[in-house]
Structure 1
Amino acid sequence: MDSTRADAYLRRIGADRPAVADIAALRALHRRHLLAVPFENLSIHLGQDIVLTEAALFDKIVGAGRGGFCYELNGAFAALLRSLGYGVELLAARVFGDGGRLGPPYDHLALRVTTADGDGPWLADVGFGRHSEYPLAYNHRDEQHDPGGAFRIAEAPDGDLDVLRDGSPAYRLDQRPRALGDFEATCWWQRTSPASHFRQSLVCSRLTGTGRVTLSGRKLVLTEGEDRREERELSDGEILTAYREHFGIALDRVPAVAPIA
């Protein structure tokens, strides 16, 4: 990613170009990304292709003002961080589902980041929906407190690492560095398989300054802290307005989950 594109990306997330690629700047960029770029799977239900290249991800997230899911959000964020002087490695993970069952290989993409002065590494993840607001200390095994919850990175079998949130396992990391293209097969599976929860549901969610806003199908959910929650069902006209006003996404039709044969 060249300097011009990096500057456009920084404008997209409302962040200044950091003078130094240090942990303070990484924390600020991480949270600004979560505030500005929604976690969403609308492309799957709008019949739009998902292309895992740096250029395509930039065009979608920055050019079109859209969001995406893990491969897109963390894939694009990795390119931005590298352009700013950070060392970044892509890591594959398997997400824990119901009953502690692990998803398929390459089920999730997360980032291992080092600063320009070699500080870290840090686990950065702007593509897991509700998760940590700030990067986690990758080699730290004690509980790490974050506005998004209490997180812990624990040793797992075969040299893997489990990432837990509030005591519950979120995903299992394979520590070997990967390339963006390695995730293409599972990205295709997530888009097309009847067994994929992304294929079965429709979601658009973004961190706010006081909580989170989520549009799941027709249900709009606004939360503030741990105590205040408002939700209501929207009409077709309200749905399009909600995408535009809460997420900056202008659509010409309401996305809908197609029946699974």
Structure 2
Amino acid sequence: MMTSGEIKTYLKRLGITDIQPPTLSYLFELHKAHVQSIPWQTVDIVAGRPASIDIREAVQLMLTGRSGYCFHLNGAFSELLRSLGYEVSWHRAGVQPLGQEPRINSFHLGLTVRLNHDQQEEQRWIVDVGLGDMPYEPLPLQAGGYEQGPFQYKVAASRVDPNGWRLEHDPFASFVGVDYAQETVDCLEEFVPKHEFYSRSSESPWIQLFLVRQRHATGSNELRGCIWNRREGNHMEKIELRTKGQWLEVLGDVFQEHLVNYSKLERDDLWKRVWELHEEWKRGKVRE
């Protein structure tokens, strides 16, 4: 469990000043603040400096102005929620990329929260701050369609796990959906080799892809290398960031990613690497 000081520091980063008892409205406030304030990112992986997914270390990332991807974000958030009195469960999950089949391969850490809603019967909620651009708010673990800003989501039974569930993303999103296993897991051991693959293997999709994602009430932002993809309502825009100054400004002002763990020289080196990868990508597009 987190100390009272750590809880206050975490909440301060989220822009929340008060500690409240576990309620649905407070859960919504925490979730929305988290996805707006702390981005999903592959920065440390691309830089060759991946962070551990140990829960204590993941929490420290959040307390010191840093970030991570699903294992860090959902791991730290689950610890915050538990420290605030919520009943949180971990689940094995898998993200379905475009053009591929659904899977539950433990390459994603899923969360659910059990909560009594308005003194009525107990309900379970899908909580996920580790997917980058979805969801903005918790979703009830109940089949149906859900609208959050310009995004349309769907909760359905999983075809991979007959007792599990599936969260389908918006039709215009970067991936198709996520499948979750019903069974819960009590430790992160299952996910460690997956993190090792993601963060160190030459076959990892993230090793050479600088990617930062953030969700807000009316849309989302994604920085893919040097391409800033903005979605505001139903309007989508791509902006190429051609200078280090533009790139750092968007990282800090839009994504709240200030690269606090990197010196000026290291930021310069990171920009050079990302720009080189961007130029390589553009040459590939021309050949196509």
Q: Distance in 2 between matches of 1:156 and 1:101?
A: 10
Cross-structure match for 1:20: 21
Matched positions, count: 257
Change (3 A) 1:92 1:100: same
Aligned residue type for 1:145? E
Change (3 A) 1:165 1:244: closer
Q: Name the TM-score, length of structure 1 as normaliser.
A: 0.88
Contact 1:220–1:234 (CA<8 Å) still a contact in 2? no
Percent identity (aligned)? 25
Q: Distance in 2 between matches of 1:186 and 1:203?
A: 18
Cα deviation code 1:51-83 (max 9, x no counterpart): 1122211221221x1221100000000000000
Contact 2:128–2:138 (CA<8 Å) still a contact in 1? yes
Change (3 A) 1:49 1:200: closer
The answer to whether the aligner puts 1:8 opposite 2:9 as a matched pair is: yes
Cα deviation code 1:216-260 (max 9, x no counterpart): 11122333211252512321333233323332413432253698x
| Shift of residue 107, structure 1, vs aligned partner | 1.0
Q: Distance in 2 between matches of 1:45 and 1:157?
A: 31
Q: 2:124 aligns with which of 99, 121, 124?
A: 121
Cross-structure match for 2:207: 199
Cross-structure match for 2:239: 231
Q: Distance in 2 between matches of 1:146 and 1:187?
A: 30
Q: Distance in 2 between matches of 1:73 and 1:206?
A: 12
Cross-structure match for 1:35: 36
Cross-structure match for 2:76: 76
Q: Distance in 2 between matches of 1:104 and 1:41?
A: 21
Cross-structure match for 2:168: 164
| Shift of residue 169, structure 1, vs aligned partner | 4.4
Contact 2:144–2:155 (CA<8 Å) still a contact in 1? yes
Q: How does 1:29-178 map to 2 (within 5 A)?
A: 29-63=30-64, 65-102=65-102, 105-115=105-115, 119-138=122-141, 140-147=142-149, 148-158=151-161, 159-166=163-170, 169-178=176-185
Aligned residue type for 1:35? Q
Q: Distance in 2 between matches of 1:91 and 1:174?
A: 6
| Shift of residue 12, structure 1, vs aligned partner | 0.7
Q: Distance in 2 between matches of 1:157 and 1:43?
A: 32
The answer to whether the aligner puts 1:241 opposite 2:245 as a matched pair is: no
SS of corresponding position for 1:176: strand
Change (3 A) 1:244 1:227: closer
Aligned residue type for 2:191? F
Aligned residue type for 1:132? P
> If you compute each CA radius of gyration, which structure gives the higher value, 1 or 2?
2
Quick check: 249-258 or 41-50, which moved more?
249-258
SS of corresponding position for 2:122: coil
| Shift of residue 115, structure 1, vs aligned partner | 2.7
Q: Distance in 2 between matches of 1:68 and 1:114?
A: 25
Contact 1:52–1:181 (CA<8 Å) still a contact in 2? no
Q: Distance in 2 between matches of 1:198 and 1:84?
A: 33
Q: Distance in 2 between matches of 1:219 and 1:35?
A: 20
| Shift of residue 157, structure 1, vs aligned partner | 4.1
